[in-house]
Structure 1
Amino acid sequence: MDGSPGATRLALSLLLSADAELLGIVGLSLRVSLSAAAIGFALGVPIGAALAIGRFPGRGAALVTVNALLGLPPVVAGLAVYLLLSRSGPLGELGLLFTPTAMVIAQSVLTTPIAAALAHRALAPVLAEIGEALAVDGAGPARMIWVAMGAAVAPLVTAFLAAFGRAIAEVGAILTVGGNIRGHTRTMTTAIALETQKGDLPLALALGLILLLLVLAVNAAALTLAPRS
Structure 2
Amino acid sequence: MITAIKQAIQMVLSGDSQLFQIIGVTLRMSLTSSLAALLIGVPPGILVSMYNFKGKNALIVLNRTLMGLPPVVCGLLCYMLFSGNGPLGYMKLLFTVKAMIIAQVILITPQIIGNTESYMRLICDDIRATALGLSLPKGKILLLALNESKYQIISTYLFGFSRGIAEVGAVSMVGGAIAFKTNVMTTAIMNYTNRGDFTMGVALGMILLAMSLILNCSVYLIQGKVNK
Q: Same-fold call, TM > 0.5?
A: yes
The alignment's TM-score, normalised by the length of structure 2, stands at: 0.95
1:201 aligns with 2:198: yes
The alignment's TM-score, normalised by the length of structure 1, stands at: 0.95
Name the residue aligned to 1:128.
125
1:171 aligns with 2:168: yes
Question: For structure 1, which segment, 115-124 or 177-186, has the greater mean C-alpha deviation from structure 2 after superposition?
Answer: 115-124
The match for 1:225 among 205, 222, 227 is 222
1:97 aligns with 2:97: no
1:7 aligns with 2:4: yes
Name the residue aligned to 1:49.
46
1:114 aligns with 2:111: yes
Give distance in 1, aligned partners of 2:175 and 2:10.
Answer: 28
Name the residue aligned to 1:211.
208
CA-based RMSD: 1.2
Give distance in 1, aligned partners of 2:194 and 2:173.
Answer: 17
The match for 1:156 among 134, 153, 157 is 153
User: How many residues are paired up?
Assistant: 226
Q: Deviations over 1:179-215 (max 9, x none)?
A: 0000000000000000111111000000000000001
The match for 2:57 among 60, 64, 75 is 60
Q: CA deviation at 1:136?
A: 4.7
The match for 2:72 among 69, 72, 75 is 75
Give distance in 2, aligned partners of 1:102 and 1:118.
Answer: 25
Q: CA deviation at 1:217?
A: 0.7
Structure 1: gaps (5+ residues)? none
Give distance in 2, aligned partners of 1:129 and 1:68.
Answer: 29
Name the residue aligned to 1:31.
28
Query: Secondary structure of the equivalent of 1:221?
Result: helix
Query: Secondary structure of the equivalent of 1:212?
Result: helix
CA contact (8 A) 1:15 1:206 kept: yes
Structure 2: gaps (5+ residues)? none
Give distance in 1, aligned partners of 2:127 and 2:100.
Answer: 40
Q: Deviations over 1:89-115 (max 9, x none)?
A: 111101000000000000111110111
CA contact (8 A) 1:45 1:115 kept: yes
Give distance in 1, aligned partners of 2:108 and 2:181.
Answer: 22
Q: CA deviation at 1:135?
A: 3.1
